[in-house]
């Protein structure tokens, strides 16, 4: 009787042992960090189509090898990781910036002017000069003036932005195109800088930039598509396999998706004011797929530190009458967030100054209480200058801190002179937030900062400012480990877009998105991390970048 009962189980066991697996399309062997807490390290992985079917020891994975399986073996000094996820980009805008005038590293007024003049000489009359990403702190803090460039750009409107995107310079040709005179009135939630005589200098901040933006010609579909392709190629070169686009939904994404040209997975949405339109799009067309997904809404509380438009409780140290301002009123923000949240949409809200962060947390808390419990995953974008008392609130409210570590080593060159040492103690407070169990995710804010995750990891781990003046780290108590930084760029980043079940770690059943580095960033000196190179980037098992 017992033998009869055991026979079916024994037969099943024998069948299972003799059953042949379908051979893998690819096997990759090397030193693998998986981002999976249950299996942090592995020696090999197997891919079928765009999906990981197995990961483990080399002996285990070689069982998946068939006659047509591609086998790639990487040196054990190299490191294989899940593909990086950049949680904050301005995607298509960044693509355009790649081919525009480059001002970020202009070190003087003269160099700033020279670069614009040289670039203007390459253009047809009437062509707008955009982008730039200038940083006036590079030449001591003097804001540029249209008088600097008018003589060398008489036939080309110039509208170049500061690297934070919250302040831009227009030349006289751009002002004329926009119909702006010295009599222009100030704008709520923005600022138009005038000199002592009342002359518009050309500097427009935050909401005031709309006065010029409306005059900028719309780009052609072809130029948008080219910008998108350039952006995807750039990201692939730096190991980024997924990106969250804060620029808003752009039809070039749909065109690339329809033409099977996507090599970067994109999560995007619309401005908060358009939440009904986004909701309708999802209801009628769905939220997308593994390549292009919609569902998030972007809003702004305040501006940025370098533009003195971030909102603080106390005035700026170098400007005692100025404490920044709200771009969006608290009432309007609350009504928009509550409505969009009730529709099941995800909120990603920009807040930089301590007052802006505090008020946004209050709004999130109120909206959650009024709309009821659900898995909403509110995000605060940037979260740069939080007051200590608000740090524990994020974990309590399940709010995600979406931060950009490169900003810490960039702004750290001059932030103390603007807001003082005390407030800087919780500026880019990675360690304090993580210690308080906040879900921290990383991105770049590209093109405000380079979309290079290895630079971001270097920044989070070392906090060495770009000027070399803080070799032990700017407010070193906020440094984090390599593993913590990697999780913020992989599995936790995937969580921040509700994608942790399909990507963010190298596990069976997940997408085969991975990056290969030429060195192991766990074992090299932290200050060497920014010198590491991406060897290969694979998205869905397909090679989208290979270092020459």
Encode pLDDT of 491-543 as tens digits.
Answer: 999 999 999 999 999 999 999 999 999 999 999 999 999 999 999 999 999 99
Q: Does residue 248 carry a pLDDT above 80?
A: no
pLDDT of residue 20: 54
pLDDT at 220: 86
Coil, helix or strand for 325?
coil
Sheet architecture: strand order including 440-442: 84-89, 240-245, 265-271, 292-300, 346-351, 379-382, 400-403, 440-442
| pLDDT for the residue numbered 123 | 87
Give the dihedral sign, CA 454/458/460/465.
negative
- Beta-bridged to residue 302, according to DSSP, are 326
Closest C-alpha among 88, 141, 85 to residue 383: 88
Task: Provide the pLDDT for residue 218.
Answer: 87
Is residue 501 in some structural domain?
no
In a domain? residue 171: yes
String of DSSP letters for 464-488: --TTS--TT-TTGGG---HHHHHHH
Q: Write the pLDDT tens digit of every residue in 396-413.
A: 999 999 999 999 999 999
Tell me which of 116 and 21 has the higher pLDDT: 116
Task: Provide, rounded to the nearest whole percent, the portion of the chain with pLDDT above 90.
Answer: 86
Respond yes or no on whether the N-terminal peptide bond of residue 4 is cis (omega within 30° of 0).
Answer: no
Query: Residues 234-248: what's their mean pLDDT?
Result: 94
Average pLDDT over residues 414-424: 96
524 found inside a domain: no
What pLDDT score does 13 carry? 45
CA distance 373 to 369: 7
In a domain, 67, yes or no: no
For the record, the structure tokens of 224 come out as 């948008």
pLDDT at 394 over 90: yes
When the pLDDT of each residue in the chain is averaged and rounded to a whole number, the result is 94
Domain count, the chain: 1
Domain assignment present for 131: yes
| pLDDT at 15 > cutoff 80 | no
pLDDT tens figures, 358-381: 999 999 999 999 999 999 999 999
- Per-residue confidence (pLDDT) for residue 9, from 0 to 100: 46
Side by side, the strands of the sheet bearing 190-194 are 101-102, 129-134, 158-162, 167-170, 200-206, 190-194
Helix or strand or coil: residue 523? coil
Structure-derived torsion over alpha carbons of residues 173, 174, 179, 180, reported in degrees to the nearest 10: -100
More confident residue, 218 or 109: 109
Query: pTM value?
Result: 0.87
Provide the CATH number for the domain around residue 125: 3.10.310.70
Between the CA of residue 521 and those of 197, 408, 548, what are the distances in Å?
55, 20, 21
The answer as to whether 487 is a domain residue is no
CA angle, residues 247, 253, 256, in degrees to nearest 5 = 150
What is the pLDDT, as a whole number, of residue 117?
A: 94
Rounded CA separation 85/537 (Å): 12
Q: What's the domain range around 165?
A: 91-213
- Per-residue pLDDT of 202-224, as tens digits, reads 999 989 999 999 999 988 899 89
Say how far apart CA 278 and CA 287 lie, in whole Å.
9
Tokens for 211? 């006065």
The predicted-structure confidence for 432-473, as pLDDT tens digits, reads as follows: 999 999 999 999 999 989 999 999 999 999 999 999 999 999
What pLDDT was estimated at residue 196?
93
Rounded-to-integer distance, Cα 548 and Cα 541, Å: 19
DSSP H or E stretch at residue 402: strand 400-403
pLDDT, position 99: 83
Asked if residue 159 lies in contact with residue 177, where contact means CB atoms within 8 angstroms, the answer is no
- Identify whether 284 is part of a domain: no
Angle subtended at Cα 208 by Cα 345 and Cα 230, rounded to the nearest 5 degrees: 60
Sign of the alpha-carbon torsion through 382, 135, 137, 192? negative
Write the CB contacts of 401 (distance below 8 Å, at least 6 apart in sequence): 379, 380, 383, 394, 433, 438, 439, 440, 441
Place 310 in a pLDDT band, splitting at 50, 70 and 90: very high
Q: What's the CA gap between 236 and 454, in Å, rounded?
A: 13
Least confident of 125-139, 307-321, 484-498, 513-527: 125-139
Pairing of strands 51-56, 41-48: antiparallel
| Angle formed at CA 347 by CA 342 and CA 352, multiple of 5 degrees | 140
């Amino acid at each position: 009787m017992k033998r009869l009962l055991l026979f079916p189980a024994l037969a099943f066991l024998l069948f299972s042992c003799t059953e042949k697996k379908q051979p893998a399309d690819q096997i990759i062997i090397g030193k693998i960090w998986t981002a999976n807490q249950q299996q942090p390290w592995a020696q090999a992985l197997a891919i079928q189509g765009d999906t990981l079917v197995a990961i483990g020891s080399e002996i285990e994975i070689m069982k998946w090898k068939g006659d047509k399986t591609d086998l790639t073996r990487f040196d054990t000094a190299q490191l294989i990781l899940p593909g990086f996820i950049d949680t904050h980009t301005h995607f298509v805008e960044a693509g355009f910036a790649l081919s525009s005038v480059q001002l970020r590293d202009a070190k003087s007024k003269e160099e700033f002017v020279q670069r614009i003049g040289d670039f203007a000489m390459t253009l047809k009359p009437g062509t707008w000069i955009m982008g730039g990403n200038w940083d006036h702190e590079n030449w001591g803090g003097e804001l540029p003036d249209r008088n600097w460039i008018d003589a060398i750009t008489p036939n080309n409107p110039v509208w170049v932005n500061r690297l934070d995107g919250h302040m831009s310079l227009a030349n006289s040709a751009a002002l004329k195109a926009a119909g702006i005179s010295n009599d222009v009135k100030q704008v709520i939630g923005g600022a138009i800088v005038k000199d002592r005589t009342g002359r518009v200098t050309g500097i427009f901040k935050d909401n005031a930039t709309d006065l010029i933006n409306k005059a900028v010609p719309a780009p052609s579909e072809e130029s948008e598509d080219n910008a998108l392709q350039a952006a995807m190629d750039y990201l692939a070169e730096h190991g980024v396999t997924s990106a969250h686009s804060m620029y808003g939904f752009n039809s070039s994404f749909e065109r690339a998706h329809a033409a099977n040209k996507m090599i970067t997975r994109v999560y995007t949405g619309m401005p908060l004011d358009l939440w009904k339109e986004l909701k309708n799009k999802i209801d009628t067309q769905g939220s997308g797929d593994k390549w292009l997904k919609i569902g998030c809404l972007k809003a702004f509380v305040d501006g940025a530190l370098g533009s003195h438009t971030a909102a603080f409780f106390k005035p700026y140290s170098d400007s005692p009458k100025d404490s920044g301002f709200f771009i969006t009123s608290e009432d309007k923000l609350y009504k928009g967030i509550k409505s969009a949240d009730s529709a099941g949409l995800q909120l990603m809200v920009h807040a930089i100054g301590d007052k802006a962060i505090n008020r946004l947390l209050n709004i999130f808390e109120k909206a959650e209480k009024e709309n009821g419990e659900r898995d909403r995953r509110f995000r605060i974008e940037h979260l740069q200058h939080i007051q200590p008392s608000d740090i524990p609130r994020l974990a309590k409210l399940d709010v995600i801190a979406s931060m950009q570590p490169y900003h810490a080593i960039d702004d750290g060159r001059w932030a103390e002179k603007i807001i003082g040492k005390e407030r800087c103690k919780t500026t880019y407070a990675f360690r304090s937030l993580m210690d308080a169990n906040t879900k921290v995710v990383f991105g770049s804010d590209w093109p405000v900062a380079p979309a290079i995750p290895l630079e971001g990891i270097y920044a989070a781990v070392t906090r060495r400012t770009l000027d070399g003046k803080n070799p032990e780290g700017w407010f070193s108590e906020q440094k984090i480990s390599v593993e913590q930084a990697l999780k913020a760029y992989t599995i936790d980043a995937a969580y921040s877009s509700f994608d942790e079940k399909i990507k963010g770690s190298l596990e069976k059943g997940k997408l085969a998105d991975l990056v290969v580095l030429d060195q192991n960033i766990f074992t090299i000196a932290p200050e060497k991390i920014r010198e590491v190179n991406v060897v290969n980037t694979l998205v869905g098992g397909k090679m989208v970048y290979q270092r020459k």
